[in-house]
Amino acid sequence: MKALIIGCGKFGVRISEYLNRKNHDVVVVDKNPETFHALGDEFTGRTLCGVGYDKDILDRAGIATTDVVIACTSSDSLNAVVSNIAKNIYHVPTVIARMYDPVRARMFETMGIYTISITRLGLENVTEYLEGKHGWSVVRKLGMGVQLVKAHVLVGLVGTPFSELEESGKIKITALERQGHSLLPQKDMYCDYNDVLYLAVETSYLAKARDMMQL
């Protein structure tokens, strides 16, 4: 997966390093080159110095082929501009914006732009969610051998084909929730941020299935 992170503050550093550890292709943009020093020595992605809504910067960052854009600067207004550009001009499949204002966050969610509101969730909640400490629960035990599991899709799985999460006789996606709608999985579908998957999992395969979901 190709990820473009706009903003290299504390949150931007955390999500950039997280995706990089998951072996995703990460590009980080910030107008202050000094912020890049906060990225750890193990970070192998690219950094670009510039304003996040500048067309030349976005083109150099490869936004045309990017799978997910995360706008997480300290400015709601800048994040809004970047998100709109990514969603409506470049048609990036998944766009996530950090919003301090929960009212604006809800408005953006109705536009198909996922939001993380620090004031609403708290930084620890966001970190726990991204690190996979939440998002896995057993809905029902179907006899002795199979369990129906509810699993949330984390950022690291965005763009992963459903077929890569299934194994004959072990795990199968039976349904999903996406943007408030319940769906049956279709051929060639892939994971989107904030998807909720319902998995039928063979009991002895539960640990492996959880690893596959990065939870």
141 pLDDT exceeds 90? Answer: no
Structure tokens at 86: 């990514």
CATH number assigned to the domain comprising residue 200: 3.30.70.1450
pLDDT score, position 117: 62
**Mean pLDDT of the chain, nearest integer:** 84
Task: Say which CATH number the domain at 50 has.
Answer: 3.40.50.720
**DSSP secondary structure code for residue 91 in this structure:** -
Condensed to tens digits (0 to 9), the pLDDT of residues 184-197 reads 999 889 998 778 99
User: Do 104 and 38 fall into the same domain?
Assistant: yes
How many structural domains are present in the chain? 2
* pLDDT band (50, 70, 90) for residue 134: low
Domain range for 38: 2-130
In degrees to the nearest 10, what's the CA dihedral of 39, 43, 44, 50? -20
**Residues 13-51 pLDDT 10s:** 988 998 888 888 999 999 999 999 999 899 999 999 999
Q: Average pLDDT of 154-182?
A: 89
Q: How far is CA 72 from CA 16, 34, 107, in A?
A: 11, 17, 17
Residue 145 and residue 121 in one domain: no
How many CB atoms within 10 Å of residue 179?
A: 12
Same structural domain, 115 and 182: no
Statement: residue 8 has pLDDT above 80 = yes
pLDDT higher than threshold 50 for residue 133? no
Q: Is the pTM of this model over 0.85?
A: no
Structure tokens at 85: 């550009």
- 129: which residues sit within 8 A by CB, 6+ positions away? 121, 135, 152, 154
Please indicate, yes or no, whether residues 89 and 174 belong to a single structural domain of this protein. no
116 and 149 in one domain?
A: no
Hey, how many other C-beta atoms are within 10 angstroms of the C-beta on 147? Answer: 19
